[in-house]
Amino acid sequence: MNPNMNVPQGIIQQQSPQQNIPPQMQPMVPPQMSNIMPSPNPDNITKVKSLVGPLKESLKNIFQSAAQLLNQDNSGNAKQPESNARFDKHLEEFYSICDQIELHLITAKKCTEQAYASQVYLPVPVVPTRSENMAQENALTYMQYLDLVKTQITYAKEIHDTLLMAAQNI
């Protein structure tokens, strides 16, 4: 008996796109990970994690350059401008990586806040019909959706009025 007998032909082809690829060319993927597709664009947290290594390397370079400058100062030798420039370069690189990490963390925080707000203000789908008897489980009826929108409009007006009063008081 064919296990894919009840499955449409297009779905079978979509599930195994690597059928025609020779075995030596197929990527080595553990069986439990075969259903998970990696995202083409890494998220912000992944980008931050990838910047930790360069940040450590940059910090190490700063300490090495600073140690060389301190040794030069203690030994009384004439200052070499290239070592001072090298320290400045390493410091600038460190700050650049820190800025990138900060931007990625801020973006990740805003994405999380947006996802949370989305769940808070409309956590369930809306049934597009006006009849209440066809309400699906875990879905808003059209009338419930209208009430929700009216509440959100009232809330937005209250915020607007509060901001206007605050601006007038300043």
Condensed to tens digits (0 to 9), the pLDDT of residues 117-130 reads 767 777 666 665 65
Across 27-36, 96-105, 132-141, least confident range: 27-36
- Radius of gyration from C-alpha coordinates of the chain: 29
Distance between CA atoms of residues 26 and 13, nearest Å: 16
| 134 confidence band (pLDDT: 50, 70, 90) | low
Q: How confident is the model over 61-90, as a mean pLDDT?
A: 86
Is it the case that residue 49 has pLDDT exceeding 90?
Answer: yes
Local confidence band at 136 (pLDDT 50, 70, 90 cut-offs): low
Residues 6+ apart with CB under 8 A from 136: 125, 127
Considering the chain, what percentage of its residues have pLDDT values greater than 70? 65
For the chain, give the longest Cα–Cα distance.
90
Q: Can you tell me the mean pLDDT for 56-68?
A: 95
Helix (H, G, I), strand (E, B) or coil at 140: strand
Which of 1.20.1530, 1.10.3470, 1.20.5, 2.60.40 would CATH assign to domain 42-121? Answer: 1.20.5
Mean pLDDT of 119-142: 64
Q: Would you state the torsion angle of the CA atoms of residues 15, 21, 22, 28, taken in this order, to the nearest 10 degrees?
A: -60
For 14, other C-beta atoms within 10 Å of its C-beta total: 9
**Residue 17, pLDDT score:** 41
Q: Is the pTM of this model over 0.75?
A: no
**What are the sequence ranges of the domains in the chain?**
42-121, 123-170
